[in-house]
Chains A and B, each alone.
Chain A
C-alpha cells in the first residue's frame, strides 16, 4: 500500500509538472522553475530518486560567469560520445530548476533513461541541491562579485561552496587554476581536483583600473603577486608570503589566437571555434577538461564546437530585415567588461542598446554598474547608445559620468525598433538577467516577422 501511494505520488508529481510546463510554454512564459517547485512539493523525494537512476556520472557546473555556456557545451560533448543525458539547458539553476530538469526529462511512470546528468547550479543553491544527490564532478569556472544583495558578499558565496564540497567528499572538482578564489576553494576542500588554465600571456595591455576581486591571499591575507592578468583577477599569481600559488595546470590552453574566431591548443590538439570573446576560451576549456576528466575521448569535439549554437542570448545572432543583431547577457562587472571587449573587437560601425532590470533574479542592487568600464564605449564606431529596462535612468546616469550621451527608451521593443530604424544595420543588445528572456522573445518575434 505504501509503495503504491508513493508511486502514485511520483506519477502525479511528474504529470503535474509536465502539464504545467506545457501550458506555461504556450502562454509564452518559462514555467520550468514553477514546474520543479510543484513537483518537489507533491513528492519531496523525487529529485533524489530520479538522480539515483542516472546510470553513469553526474556533472554540476558552478561559478559566477560562464555556467550556462560551459554546461551546454559539456552536454554536446557528452552527447557526441553517444550518451543520453539530463540537463537544465534553460539556465534555471536553483533547486526548483534542477528538479525540473530531472522531472521533465523523466517518463510519466517515474523512470529516467539517462547515462549522464549535466546540471548547472547557482553557487548558493549547491547546499540545497546536494542533499538530493552528490555529483561525481563539479566544474568551478570562476568567482566574481555578482548580485551582492542576494549573497551578501563574495566571502559568503565561498563559504557556501566550501560547505557544498564538504558535503560531497568523493566529488572531483574541475577548477579554473587562473582564478585564485576558485583554486583556493578546490585546494583547501580536501576533494580531489583537476585544473585547467592559460599559462601564456595573451594581452599586452593590462587594464589597471578594472575591479579585481581577491587580490589578497585567501590563506594568509597578503597581497597576491601577478605575473600577468588575463582579465579581472584571472591570471597567473602567487602569494609572496605563505607560498599559496596557482596550482599546476592539467589542461593548459596554449597558442591562443583570436583574430579569426577562437583558436588554441590543448593536450596536443588544435581547437577552433567560430565564437567571439576571450572568456569563451575558458568555457570551451572547462567543458573539454570536464569531459576528458570523466574519461571521454572527445574524438568529435571539433564537430561539437561547429554545431554548437550559443543559446539563450549568449552571443546569439539574429537577422531582422537585413540588420545584424547580436544579443548578449551581461550581469556583473567581470562579464560586462568581457562583453565590452567583444563588442569593441568588431571594428565596424554599430549601435548599442543596454537593458538593465533590477528584479530579484538580477540582484536588486545595481551599484555594480559603476564598476564596469563603460568609458570604453566612447569610441567613434559606436553611433548610438540607447538605455532601456527598469533601471534605464541609472544606466543613463552611469554613461553621463563618463561623458557619453544616451537615448532613454524604457520599453525594450520600442528601443529595438527605433535603433533598427535609425541604425547602421549592426546592433548589439546587452541585457542583464531578467531582461534576457523577454528581449530574446522580442528579437525572435521580430526575426520571424521580417
Chain B
C-alpha cells in the first residue's frame, strides 16, 4: 500500500511547524509498513490531483497568502473536484482560511478556493493561545496552539470540535475548525498531528479507504503522543 501526500507551496505556507504534520503522516505510514511519498509543489507547478491521496495546505503570513491566492485560482476547479470526490485535505491556519470563499483584511480581500462554505474576516486582537477542543468521534481531546487574526464562520458546517480552552474559529461560538467530506480545516498548529495521532490516523484511514476500499490501521504505541496531549489537556482544562 502507498499513500502520496501533496504539500502545497511549502515555500510560502510553512509558518507553524507544518513540516511536523508532513513528518507525522509519513512516519505513521512507514511504521505500519505503508509506503509514503511526499510531493512538494511550488507556486507555478502543475498539480495532478488524481495522483494525490492527501493534500496539506499549511499556514502563511497574510502577505504570503496574498501571493498564493492568485495562483490558487488556476487550480480551483481541479481542487474542488478532488474535494467533492472525497479527496483528503488537511488545511491549517492560513490554509484553513483559503478553503473558504474569502478572507477580508484591512489590506483588501484575499479570495479563497470556495472548497468549503465558510468565510473569514480580520479581527482584533489576534487570538493567541494554547487550545483544547473536544469531538465525540475522537477518543480523547485535540490539542494545539492557535495564532490568528482572522475570525472564521463556517455557515452551519460541522466543526472539528467544541472549544474547552482557547478561542477557536472566531472567539464567539465556541467552535473550532471545520469538517466537510474528507476535509479538515483548523487553526490548530503546534504542529497539529504529532500530539493528535488520532487525527493523523483519521486522515490516513480516510485516504486508504478511498484508495483501497478498506482502512484498518494497525495500532501503534502512542504512549509518548498521549503523554504530550494529556499534559496540555491537564494544564489548561483541569486546574
Q: Which residues of A contact B (CB under 8 A)?
A: 145, 148-149, 152-155, 211, 215-216, 221, 223, 364-371, 393-394, 396-398, 400-403
Contacts and interface: CB of A to CB of B under 8 A. Distances in A.
B17 A368 contact: yes
A368 B14 CA distance: 11
B67 interface: yes
Contacts of B19: 211, 370-371
A367 B17 contact: yes
A367 B190 contact: yes
Q: Which 8 A-B pairs have the closest CB atoms?
A: A370-B20, A370-B17, A367-B17, A393-B228, A153-B61, A367-B16, A365-B145, A367-B190
A367 B20 contact: yes
Given A366-B190, A394-B228, 16 more contacts: A148-B15, A152-B147, A153-B15, A155-B62, A155-B63, A211-B19, A216-B12, A365-B16, A365-B145, A369-B20, A370-B23, A371-B17, A371-B19, A398-B20, A401-B24, A401-B27
Contacts of A402: 23
A398 B62 CA distance: 27
Contact of A397 (B61, B64, B189, B194): B194
Nearest to B10: A211
A199 B14 CA distance: 29
Q: Which of A215, A364, A367, A400 has the most C-beta atoms of chain B within 10 angstroms of its own C-beta?
A: A367
A154 B15 CA distance: 10
B61 A367 contact: no
B191 A367 contact: yes
B147 to A, nearest CB: 6
B126 interface: yes
Contacts of A215: 11
Interface in B14-39: 14-20, 23-24, 27
Interface in B175-223: 189-191, 194-195
B123 interface: no
A149 B64 CA distance: 18
Contacts of B48: none
A216 B60 CA distance: 13
Nearest to B30: A403
A402 B23 CA distance: 8
A281 to B, nearest CB: 28
A365 B190 contact: yes
14 contacts: A145-B15, A155-B62, A211-B19, A215-B11, A216-B12, A365-B16, A365-B190, A367-B145, A367-B189, A369-B20, A371-B14, A393-B224, A393-B227, A401-B23
Interface in B35-65: 61-64
Contact of A370 (B67, B191, B224, B225): B191
A145 to B, nearest CB: 8
Contacts of A148: 15-16, 147
B17 A369 contact: yes
A364 B236 CA distance: 13
B97 interface: no
B145 A152 contact: no
Contact of A364 (B14, B130, B231): B130
Given A397-B228, A401-B23, A155 B17 contact: no
A335 B64 CA distance: 23
A216 B20 CA distance: 23
B128 interface: yes
A393 B229 CA distance: 9
B129 to A, nearest CB: 8
Contacts of B67: 216, 221
B147 A149 contact: yes
Nearest to B144: A367
A368 to B, nearest CB: 6
Contact of A401 (B11, B16, B194, B231): B194
A445 to B, nearest CB: 28
Given A148-B147, A364-B145, A370-B19, A211 B14 contact: yes
A345 to B, nearest CB: 25
A152 B94 CA distance: 13
A370 B26 CA distance: 14
Q: Which of A153, A211, A398 has the most C-beta atoms of chain B within 10 angstroms of its own C-beta?
A: A153
Contacts of B189: 365, 367
Interface string B57-82: 00001111001000000000000000
Q: Which of A154, A215, A365, A394 has the most C-beta atoms of chain B within 10 angstroms of its own C-beta?
A: A365
Nearest to A405: B224
Contacts of A221: 67
A12 to B, nearest CB: 36
A154 B147 CA distance: 13
Nearest to B188: A367
A359 to B, nearest CB: 13
Nearest to B192: A367
Q: Which of B130, B191, B194 has the most C-beta atoms of chain A within 10 angstroms of its own C-beta?
A: B194
Contacts of A154: 61
Given A149-B128, A364-B145, A397 B224 contact: yes
A396 B145 contact: no
Contacts of B195: 394, 397
A406 to B, nearest CB: 9
Given A152-B126, A153-B61, A365-B145, A401 B228 contact: no
